[in-house]
Amino acid sequence: MFFAGLTWFSGITAIFLLLLLALFFIIRIFSDYRLKPYLKRSMWATTFLCIIFFIGSFLFHLPNYSSNGSIKESATYAISDNIIQINESESDFLDDGHTISLGNVVANRNGLFGDNIVVNLYKSDESQVRIEKEISASGNSRSEAKKIAGNTSISENINGNIISIPEVYRISKGNKYRGQRVTYSIYIPKNKEVEIDKNMYWTIWKNEFKREKNKK
């Protein structure tokens, strides 16, 4: 995480300083204001160092994403209701005042959390609801990637006709973030109707149910 944080910090800092230098250049064109030489030199030197740190940490971190692996789970549920509701469940682990953002994940004393979760809804000829979950990750090798994927925690909940998908997955302390992604493929009998919570708008990528009803 140190090198991942260094990559993000150095990259963002370099971009910010370059934009700031461009702004001062524009101001110089349209006014008599001149940036003091020592400040200008310091800004250019800091920008150069940030670019060096960004390239170095990026190249160091790159092998950790050289291979991909995934684990899959599947389960079936007998839901008699004619309407299936797809909801998003909030995570109690995020209720921490010391949460910080680290690029694609956030961190607090409970661990690391990511929201790269995708849900696809398919019509099925089966009589039961089938939920397939795939957790994918990257690593130095395929076996390491599968191990990292296996250390990612996320559990859906089925309560009556309500299918609740967590808003984030959790990476416990001591485990690594390597671009984890969770994909839910939910196969629902085609004679059912589907209601989708409005909070799931960005999570659901594919929905084969034309008579979809969005909950308000």
Domain boundaries, the chain: 2-63, 67-215
Mean pLDDT over residues 36-65, rounded? 83
Can you read off the two tokens belonging to residue 42?
């310091």
Confidence of residue 10 (pLDDT cuts 50, 70, 90): confident
**pLDDT of the residue at 86:** 94
How many Cα atoms sit within 13 Å of 23 on the Cβ side?
7
Query: Of the candidates 22, 5, 9, which has an alpha carbon nearest to the alpha carbon of residue 50?
Result: 9
**pLDDT of the residue at 194:** 93
Mean pLDDT over residues 179-197, rounded? 93
Give 75-117 pLDDT, tens digit per residue: 999 999 999 999 998 877 666 667 777 667 777 777 788 889 9
Rounded Cα distance between 29 and 32, Å, is 8
**pLDDT of the residue at 216:** 47
Q: What's the mean per-residue pLDDT of the chain? A: 86
**pLDDT of the residue at 67:** 86
Give 123-168 pLDDT, tens digit per residue: 999 999 999 999 999 988 899 899 989 889 999 999 999 999 999 9
Mean pLDDT over residues 33-49, rounded? 89
Can you read off the two tokens belonging to residue 81?
């209701």
DSSP, collapsed to helix, strand or coil, labels residue 129 as strand
211: DSSP letter: T
Rounded Cα distance between 187 and 167, Å, is 20
**Cβ(155)–Cβ(163) under 8 Å?**
no
Query: Of the candidates 14, 16, 18, 20, which has an alpha carbon nearest to the alpha carbon of residue 57?
Result: 14
State pTM to two decimals.
0.72
Mean pLDDT over residues 45-68, rounded? 81
Neighbours of 116 (CB within 10 A): 14
Rounded Cα distance between 60 and 22, Å, is 30
